[in-house]
Structure 1
Amino acid sequence: MTVRIGVEEEFHLVQMETGLLAARADAVLDGLPEQTFTTELQQAAVETNSAVHTSLDDLYDDLTGARRTLDTAASAHGLAVVAAGTAPLGFPGDTPPTPGVRYRRMTDEYRRVADEQLICGAHVHVDVPDRDTAVRIMCEVSPWLPVLLALSASSPFWAGADTGYASWRTMLWQRWPTAGPIGCFADAAAYDTAVRSLVGSGVISDPGMIYYDIRPSDHHRTLELRICDSCPRAETVVLVAGLFRALVTEARQRLESPAAPRCRGRHEWLRAATWRAARSGLEGNLVDPETGREAPAAHVVHGLLRRVRPVLTANGDWQTVRSLAERALADGSAARRVRRLAEREVLLACTDLLITETRGAGRLSRRPARRLAGRV
């Protein structure tokens, strides 16, 4: 049976005329259903929550529908919505945090790290049978997560300047004490003990501040992917969701076999591979999880496709995911698209491009990749 998936997307709110961040989340969200649309730490960001789906087509329709609804609400206030790791013209200090005891405590404790939390991510939830399975799967799929980050990379600019990175959001995000690659745990009890220890240390205030690249949900029987930038094109989110579901399913199958793999750890390797993906996106080398050595991004992405093809085929996802992956490699990352535009235009034009891609158009297609021009 095909495993269910759901997605949380974070969006920047920007002024249409200037491209600057706009701290208007409360106004934009007024009247929208709380179960689908909600606030974030900074008032210049909002989050959408999809329903759960088995079909990638249904997930795509859900994501694009939520984007249209949010864009309409923002437009009524002279604002636009940007799905990207960072907004090209987002400047720290220009937006206040969202009111509330928890957010106020975070801004008081973490100071500039919280003040500069002007970043947005795309999170994917995949159903798992129980927390023990979720924790064991984390270790198995973690080496492939930097590849998903490279596919999503959309944040080359920070405070109006080119950082040289494809995902500067990743570098900002990893400043939090419980962000980045996660260690390996024997079972849910060991993981929960580690979380309680972190809360008890006073470094974080609650389990919700576990921000690692992957984590078991506290409220649902899901495993959550957290490494990715928000993606201007909804098709990229669908690609990442399809690949992550396949990785989780493939890992679960291996763990259920008589010769279940033993965790190899490699936390230092994971952090290095994540940095490489954040630096390069799809435009340079990545660290190949199968060899531990650098290789062109296309080679590593194709290796991932080969690994999960049986699961994708069983799910009915192979044609869609293969086509989207090939188009992603042909077009390059969102970071590359906006950076190339910045070579001949001002950064406001980059913001306009991100707004246009976030709005999107059309339906997901399973046609061959050569006919999916401009879709990923």
Structure 2
Amino acid sequence: MTHKVALGVEEEFHVVDLVSRRLTPQAHVVLDGLPEAGFSAELQRAVVETNSEPTTDLATLRAGLVDLRRRLIASAEPHGLGIASAGTSPLHGASGFVITADDRYQYLHDTYQFIAREQLICGAQVHVDIDDRDLAVLVAQRVEPWLPALLALSASSPYWFEADSGYASSRAVAWQRWPTAGMVGPFAGAAEYDQAVADLVTSGVIDDAGMVYFDIRLSAHVPTMELRICDACPLVDDVILLAGLFRALVVRETAAIQAGSPPRGDIRPTLLRAGHWRAARSGLEGDLISPVDGKPVPAPGLIEWLLEDLRPTLEQLDDWPTIAGLAADALARGSSAARQRAAFNKRGQLSDVVDLLLKETAGD
């Protein structure tokens, strides 16, 4: 078994009124009943975030995420509030957009205007330890071609402003409006990466390094690499699947660089950008673009290929049985986006979609 690299997860959740099933700007009410450790506010007052403790073990990570969700729900329910995990919430709130009272969030609102006002989206972010920043920059660029497959697995935001967007992940499309969102690089090392971030700050487009929103980025404060492309996932098992796959990609590409091996996936940035769009458009229910040859391939086929390609690394990490099982389950049930549409189609009610999200978020 190879060295177990630590990882952690941040999850963002929508706060909804349990009567109307609409978003409600009462995250502060939920947070008042919780400790600061592990729970925090977000830009919008209808969103709350949890932060897991770092661990090397996927079972421990899962238990931690389940506990954070349970505590969040327990704090919300006495106030008639529910917690829903998804890229977007199907029903918006009657009170409109309410920004959390905070100087940083006010800066985001004043600077980015409607992009910030419409930031009623939630993501799942995975952090993986990597202490060599030069190596991390190179690893990030080698992992990047596989990110659309992870986005497809997480796709959970078919509804945008109470209408079917036609996308599996409308959140991913909305996220791309931020000026620093999208692909990382190309960078030869940490010096170039850090200079690019410094140039963005100097330009006045962002205020600090924390406003760099690459799909995969280096933390400005701790020695971790952060996956930022994924929608929030209603089912906690899907979060564990994403975390395990991302860690395996980081570990594999780290070893490959050290061994002088070429990248597994290597296509032009224009095609990679198209691959991101393709994953957002159809999730698991359509084609993805292969990062190996740039050709379309059914999403389940590409994910199964990636899984087998990562099998040696997953086995070294002692993660293969867990990740293989979770991947099989995810492909069998389809994306959250597809499940949400199926729930809506039964009666034509978006409230039924919210009920599905509440149930899946609570899980076991």
Alpha-carbon offset, residue 135 of structure 1:
0.7
What's 1:73 paired with?
75
* 1:1-376 equivalences in 2 (<5 Å): 1-90=3-92, 94-259=96-261, 266-345=268-347, 346-361=349-364
Q: Distance in 1 between matches of 2:249 and 2:7?
A: 13
Structure 1, residues 40-59: CA drift from partner, whole Å, max 9, x if none? 00000010000011111111
Distance verdict in 2 for CA 1:27–1:202, change over 3 Å:
same
Alpha-carbon offset, residue 35 of structure 1:
2.2
Secondary structure of the 1:179 match is coil
Structure 1, residues 171-209: CA drift from partner, whole Å, max 9, x if none? 111000011222221111100000000111111111111
- The range that moved more, 101-110 or 278-287, is 101-110
Q: Which runs of 5+ in 1 are unaligned?
A: 362-376
Structure 1, residues 44-101: CA drift from partner, whole Å, max 9, x if none? 0010000011111111000000000000111121100011000000259713100111
State the one-letter code of the partner of 1:320: T
Alpha-carbon offset, residue 212 of structure 1:
1.0
Alpha-carbon offset, residue 314 of structure 1:
1.0
Secondary structure of the 2:217 match is strand
Q: Distance in 1 between matches of 2:273 and 2:315?
A: 31
State the one-letter code of the partner of 2:355: D
Structure 1, residues 105-144: CA drift from partner, whole Å, max 9, x if none? 1111111100000000000000112211111101100000
Structure 1, residues 186-243: CA drift from partner, whole Å, max 9, x if none? 1111000000001111111111110110001111111000000000000000000000
Runs of 4+ in 1 over 6 A off after TM superposition: none
When the two structures are aligned, how many residues end up with a matched partner? 361
Distance verdict in 2 for CA 1:157–1:92, change over 3 Å:
farther
Structure 1, residues 283-305: CA drift from partner, whole Å, max 9, x if none? 00001112211100111001110
C-alpha contact 1:184 1:263 (8 A) present in aligned 2: no
Secondary structure of the 1:84 match is coil
State the one-letter code of the partner of 2:326: L
Q: Distance in 1 between matches of 2:67 and 2:140?
A: 31
Q: Distance in 2 between matches of 1:21 and 1:161?
A: 15
Secondary structure of the 2:297 match is strand
Distance verdict in 2 for CA 1:314–1:354, change over 3 Å:
same
Distance verdict in 2 for CA 1:112–1:27, change over 3 Å:
same
Distance verdict in 2 for CA 1:40–1:196, change over 3 Å:
same
Distance verdict in 2 for CA 1:262–1:229, change over 3 Å:
closer
Q: Distance in 2 between matches of 1:243 and 1:55?
A: 13
Distance verdict in 2 for CA 1:263–1:339, change over 3 Å:
closer
Alpha-carbon offset, residue 27 of structure 1:
1.3
Q: Which runs of 5+ in 2 are unaligned?
A: none
C-alpha contact 2:168 2:337 (8 A) present in aligned 1: yes
Q: Distance in 1 between matches of 2:159 and 2:105?
A: 26
TM-score normalised over the length of structure 1: 0.94
C-alpha contact 1:124 1:225 (8 A) present in aligned 2: yes
Secondary structure of the 1:13 match is strand
Structure 1, residues 321-367: CA drift from partner, whole Å, max 9, x if none? 11111111110000000101111121101000000000000xxxxxx
Secondary structure of the 1:232 match is coil
State percent identity of aligned pairs. 51
State the one-letter code of the partner of 2:50: T
Distance verdict in 2 for CA 1:68–1:54, change over 3 Å:
same
TM-score normalised over the length of structure 2: 0.97
